C-alpha cells in the first residue's frame, strides 16, 4: 500500500448526495479478477453516453477541474460493499475523497487501499464547494499527521478524525493482514478456549 | 453486572484482540464467498505466499455473475466464465467447499447459508457482499465486507473492525392484509433515509417482528444495509429454532441440545441501553413502492410521489428526471414493462408461494416481461415439486434458474433503458438493473399484482 503523509492538490467537485457504489463502478464492470484498470470505468454511466462518448456536462470530462482530491456530497459510497469502488477511484488518480459523511463499508475499503476518506462538517464542505466554484484552481492541503484539512487561499482549516491505528497504517503503508498474521497465537488460543 | 444488548453479547464474545484507540480483531465463525469479490483476495494470499487459515469455515458459491438459463452449458460471456472458473480453481487450490453451478446446493449466497443450516444464532458471519446482513435474522452478527477484508478472513479467520453503535427498531401491532415484511422495511427506510443508521448495528424487535416467519425476517435484515446500518439482527426464538432443526448442516442430537441451550440465552437484557431507538406502528404501513433512485425514496402505493419544493430538492428533481416521473402525482395506474421477482431479498419459497397464490388461474398483462428467479437450486426444486412452476408458467411468468440476476444486471438479465421494472430486489439506484433502467422496489405481492395488470396496483384490491 502506498504511504500517505501530506497532499496539496486542486479538487474535482461532485456536489451530489448519496453517491452509491453502483454509480462509482457499475456491476457489469466487476467481472475482472485483478485490482487494476477500474479507473477507466469510474462513474461510467455519468461519464459516457451509450455510444461510449464522454458527456460534456459531467465533471470528470471538464478539463477545468483536475486534481487528486474528489469532493462529494454527504453519504458518499453507500450501497454495495464492492471494494472495486475504492479501486476505481484510486486507479483514476484520486488519493483523497472529501465528504461530510461516508457509508461505513466504503470508508473501510478506502482505508484498506490507501485512499483517504476525509470527513468534514457540512459548513466546511460548502465552503470548499464555493471556493472551487469561484476558482477551479483552489487547492486543499490534507495533512494526515496533523489530521487537518485546509483551504490555504481561503484561510480556513478543519480537523478530521481518523483512528490512530489506521493513521499509522496509512503513514507507513502497512495493512491489516500483516497485523492480524502477527496475532496468530492469540487467534489460536481464542479458538482453543471458547466453549461454544 | 451491566445489562447487555444481544449485539454486545455476541460481539464481545468474539473479540480476540483489542488495539488501543483502534479497531478490534473479531473472530469470524462463518465466511461465505462468491465469484465477484473473492478473486483478488486469493491473489493476495498467493502474493504473500500463505494459505487459508481455516478453510472448513468458508463456503463458496457462484451467484452474482451466472446465467439463469442453460446453467448446464458453458457460460457464454468469456469474462463471466473466467470469473466463475477462477472461483472453482481457487476453491480447489485452497481446500474450500464450493457449491458451484450444477451443484444441488448452489444459489444466492444469502439464501443457501440459512437453508442449509450453516447460518445459526450467536455466530459472526461475513461475506464480500453488503447483503450479508440477511443472516442476522437468525440472531447473529452478519455484515458485508470488502475484498481486502475477505483476504483478512481467509488468512486469519479474523477481521479488524471498530465496534458499531447500537440501535433498536421496534415495530408493534398486527400487519394489515396485503402488507409484507418488504413493506415494513421499505417503510422504515423511507422514514429513516438511506444514511439514517450509518455507524450502527440494528436490532429489530416488537410484536410485529416476532410474528414473522424466518423468510420474512430475512427480508428485513437483508435491507438494513439500505438504511446505512452495518447490519441488522433479530433475537432467535422458537420460529428460528424450528427453521434450523433438521437442515443439512444443523447440529444434531446432543450437540443440538447444547447449542439450543446457548441460543436460548441470546436476547437483549431487560434495561440494556441502545445508542439510538425508534418505534413504528404496523397499522401505519401499507404496501410500499419506490419512486426514486435510492431505497429511501418510497411511499405507500396509494400516496402521491413527493412534490418538488424549490432548489433544495435538487436530489429529488434529479431522481424524478431519471425515473421519468412527476412530483405530486400518484403512481397507481402507472404503466410498467418488467417484473422481477428474485434476489437475496425476496426469492425464497415463501415468496414464490405467495406469488403463485395471487396469480393462480390469471394471466399477466401482454406487454409485461415477468421473470422469476429462485434464490437457490433447492428453492427451484421445491417450487417444481409443489407445482408452482405450472401455476406461474400458465400465468405467463418465466421461472428460471437461481442467481442474483437482474437485481444487479451483471449477467444478461437486464432491464432496457427507460423501461419500468417493479422489482422485489433491494436497490433502485440509477442503472442498477441495466443502464437507464427504472426500478421500482416493492414486495412480491405488489410486484405480482403489477405483472397481472401491467401497471402499479394496490394489491389489496385483488385479495379476498
Predicted local distance difference test score (pLDDT) of residue B383: 98
Bridge partners for B61 per DSSP: B99
> What percent of chain B has a predicted confidence (pLDDT) above 70?
99
Predicted local distance difference test score (pLDDT) of residue A195: 85
Number of H helices, E strands in chain A: 8, 7
How many contacts does A have with B, using Cβ atoms within 8 A?
A: 184
Specify the domain boundaries for CATH 3.40.1060.10 within chain B. Answer: 165-284
Alpha carbon dihedral A63, A69, A73, A79, in 10-degree steps, equals 110
Predicted local distance difference test score (pLDDT) of residue B312: 66
Note whether B51 contacts A: Cβ–Cβ < 8 A.
Answer: no
Q: Which CATH architecture has domain B6-161?
A: 2-Layer Sandwich (3.30)
Q: Which of A79, A163, A186 sits opposite B23 (nearest CB)?
A: A163
Taking a contact as any Cβ pair under 8 Å apart, which residues of chain A between 72 and 91 contact chain B?
74-75, 78-84, 86
Q: How far apart are CA B247 and CA B309, in angstroms?
A: 53
Instruction: Tell me what ipTM this predicted complex has.
Output: 0.95
Predicted local distance difference test score (pLDDT) of residue B313: 83
Specify the domain boundaries for CATH 3.30.499.10 within chain B. Answer: 6-161, 304-462
Q: Say whether pLDDT at B1 is over 80.
A: no
Q: Say whether pLDDT at B137 is over 70.
A: yes
Mean of per-residue pLDDT scores for chain A: 96
Mutate to test the interface with A, among B93, B148, B224 (most CBs of A within 10 A): B148
- From chain B, the residues in CB contact with A165 under 8 A are 19, 21-23, 160
Note whether A22 contacts B: Cβ–Cβ < 8 A.
Answer: yes
pLDDT digits (tens, 9 = 90+) for B232-274: 999 999 999 999 999 999 999 999 999 999 999 999 999 999 9
Give mean pLDDT, residues B318-336: 97
Q: Which of A79, A163, A190 sits opposite B27 (nearest CB)?
A: A190
Predicted local distance difference test score (pLDDT) of residue B314: 86
Taking a contact as any Cβ pair under 8 Å apart, which residues of chain A between 128 and 157 contact chain B?
none
Note whether A105 contacts B: Cβ–Cβ < 8 A.
Answer: yes
pLDDT digits (tens, 9 = 90+) for B188-224: 999 999 999 999 999 999 999 999 999 999 999 999 9
Predicted local distance difference test score (pLDDT) of residue A103: 96
Helix (H) or strand (E) holding B168: strand B165-172
Give mean pLDDT, residues B110-130: 98
- C-alpha distances in angstroms, A47 versus A41, B78, B313, B421? 8, 26, 23, 24
Note whether B83 contacts A: Cβ–Cβ < 8 A.
Answer: yes
Q: For B408, how many CA atoms within 13 A lie in the half-sphere containing its CB?
A: 29
Q: Say whether pLDDT at B281 is over 80.
A: yes
Could you tell me the pLDDT band of residue B311, with boundaries at 50, 70 and 90? low
> Of B17-21, B76-80, B302-306, where does mean pLDDT reach its minimum?
B17-21
Predicted local distance difference test score (pLDDT) of residue B93: 98
b/e A45-68 (16+ beta carbons within 10 angstroms → b): bbbbeeeeeeeeeebbeeeebebb
Note whether A164 contacts B: Cβ–Cβ < 8 A.
Answer: yes
Q: The domain B165-284: what is its CATH number? A: 3.40.1060.10
The minimum CA-CA distance between B272 and chain A, rounded to whole Å, is 23
b/e B55-66 (16+ beta carbons within 10 angstroms → b): bebbbbbbbbbb
Nearest to A69 by CA among A17, A120, A141: A141
Asked whether B52 and B97 are in contact (CB, 8 A), the reply is no
Note whether A183 contacts B: Cβ–Cβ < 8 A.
Answer: yes
> What percent of chain B has a predicted confidence (pLDDT) above 90?
97
Mean pLDDT of successive 10-residue segments in chain A (196 residues)? 92 96 96 96 96 96 97 97 98 98 96 96 98 98 98 97 93 92 97 91
pTM of the model: 0.97
Nearest to A94 by CA among A31, A52, A43: A43
The minimum CA-CA distance between A132 and chain B, rounded to whole Å, is 19
Q: Which CATH superfamily is domain B304-462 in?
A: Aconitase, domain 3 (3.30.499.10)
Amino acid at each position: 500500500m502506498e504511504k500517505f503523509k501530506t497532499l496539496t492538490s486542486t479538487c474535482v467537485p461532485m456536489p451530489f448526495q448519496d453517491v452509491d457504489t453502483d454509480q462509482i463502478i457499475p456491476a457489469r464492470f466487476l467481472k475482472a479478477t485483478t485490482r487494476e484498470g477500474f479507473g477507466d470505468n469510474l462513474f461510467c454511466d455519468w461519464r459516457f453516453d451509450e455510444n461510449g462518448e464522454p458527456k460534456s456536462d459531467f465533471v470528470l470530462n471538464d478539463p477545468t477541474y483536475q486534481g487528486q482530491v474528489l469532493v462529494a456530497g454527504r453519504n458518499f459510497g453507500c450501497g454495495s460493499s464492492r471494494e472495486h469502488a475504492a479501486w476505481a477511484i484510486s486507479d483514476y488518480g484520486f488519493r483523497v475523497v472529501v465528504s461530510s459523511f461516508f457509508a461505513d463499508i466504503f470508508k473501510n475499503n478506502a482505508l484498506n487501499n490507501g485512499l483517504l476518506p476525509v470527513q468534514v462538517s457540512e459548513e466546511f464542505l460548502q465552503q470548499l464547494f464555493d471556493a472551487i466554484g469561484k476558482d477551479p484552481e483552489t487547492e486543499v492541503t490534507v495533512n494526515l499527521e496533523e489530521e487537518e484539512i485546509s483551504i490555504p487561499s481561503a484561510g480556513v482549516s478543519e480537523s478530521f478524525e481518523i483512528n490512530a491505528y489506521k493513521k499509522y497504517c496509512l503513514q507507513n503503508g502497512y495493512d491489516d493482514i500483516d497485523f492480524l498474521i502477527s496475532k496468530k497465537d492469540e487467534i489460536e488460543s481464542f479458538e482453543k478456549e471458547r466453549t461454544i | 453486572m451491566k445489562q447487555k444488548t444481544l449485539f454486545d453479547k455476541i460481539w464481545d464474545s468474539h473479540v480476540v484482540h483489542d488495539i488501543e484507540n483502534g479497531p478490534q480483531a473479531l473472530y469470524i465463525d462463518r465466511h461465505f464467498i462468491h465469484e465477484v469479490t473473492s478473486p483478488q483476495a486469493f491473489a493476495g494470499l498467493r502474493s504473500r505466499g500463505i494459505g487459508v487459515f481455516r478453510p472448513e469455515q468458508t463456503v463458496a458459491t457462484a451467484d452474482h455473475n451466472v446465467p439463469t438459463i442453460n446453467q448446464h452449458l458453458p457460460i457464454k460471456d468469456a469474462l463471466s466464465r473466467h470469473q466463475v472458473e477462477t472461483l472453482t480453481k481457487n476453491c480447489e487450490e485452497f481446500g474450500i467447499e464450493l457449491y458451484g453451478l450444477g451443484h444441488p446446493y448452489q444459489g444466492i449466497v444469502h439464501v443457501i447459508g440459512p437453508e442449509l443450516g450453516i447460518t445459526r444464532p450467536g455466530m459472526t458471519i461475513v461475506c464480500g457482499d453488503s447483503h450479508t446482513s440477511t443472516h442476522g435474522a437468525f440472531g447473529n452478527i452478519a455484515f458485508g465486507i470488502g475484498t481486502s477484508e475477505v483476504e483478512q478472513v481467509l488468512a486469519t479467520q479474523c477481521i479488524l473492525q471498530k465496534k458499531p453503535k447500537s440501535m433498536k427498531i421496534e415495530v408493534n401491532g398486527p400487519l394489515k392484509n396485503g402488507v409484507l415484511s418488504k413493506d415494513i422495511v421499505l417503510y422504515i427506510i423511507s422514514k429513516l433515509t438511506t444514511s439514517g443508521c450509518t455507524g450502527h448495528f440494528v436490532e429489530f424487535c416488537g410484536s410485529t417482528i416476532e410474528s414473522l416467519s424466518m423468510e420474512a425476517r430475512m427480508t428485513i435484515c437483508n435491507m438494513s444495509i439500505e438504511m446505512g446500518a452495518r447490519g441488522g439482527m433479530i433475537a432467535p426464538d422458537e420460529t428460528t429454532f424450528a427453521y434450523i432443526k433438521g437442515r443439512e448442516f444443523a447440529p444434531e442430537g446432543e450437540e443440538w441440545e447444547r447449542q439450543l441451550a446457548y441460543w436460548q440465552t441470546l436476547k437483549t437484557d431487560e434495561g440494556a441501553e441502545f445508542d439510538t431507538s425508534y418505534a413504528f406502528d404496523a397499522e401505519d404501513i401499507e404496501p410500499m413502492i419506490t419512486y426514486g433512485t435510492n431505497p429511501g425514496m418510497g411511499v405507500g402505493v396509494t400516496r402521491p410521489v413527493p412534490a418538488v419544493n424549490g432548489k433544495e430538492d435538487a436530489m429529488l428533481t434529479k431522481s424524478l428526471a431519471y425515473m421519468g416521473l412527476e412530483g405530486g402525482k400518484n403512481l397507481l395506474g402507472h404503466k410498467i414493462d418488467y417484473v422481477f421477482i428474485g434476489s437475496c431479498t425476496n426469492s425464497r419459497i415463501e415468496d414464490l408461494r405467495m406469488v403463485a397464490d395471487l396469480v393462480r388461474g390469471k394471466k399477466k398483462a401482454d406487454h409485461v416481461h415477468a421473470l422469476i428467479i429462485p434464490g437457490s437450486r433447492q428453492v427451484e426444486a421445491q417450487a417444481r415439486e409443489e407445482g408452482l412452476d405450472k401455476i406461474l408458467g400458465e400465468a405467463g411468468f418465466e421461472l428460471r434458474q437461481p442467481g442474483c440476476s437482474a437485481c444487479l444486471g451483471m449477467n444478461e438479465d437486464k432491464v432496457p433503458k427507460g423501461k419500468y421494472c417493479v422489482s422485489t430486489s433491494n436497490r433502485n439506484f440509477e442503472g442498477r438493473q441495466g443502464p437507464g433502467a427504472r426500478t421500482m422496489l416493492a414486495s412480491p405481492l405488489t410486484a405480482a399484482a403489477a405483472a397481472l395488470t401491467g401497471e402499479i396496483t394496490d394489491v389489496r384490491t385483488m385479495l379476498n
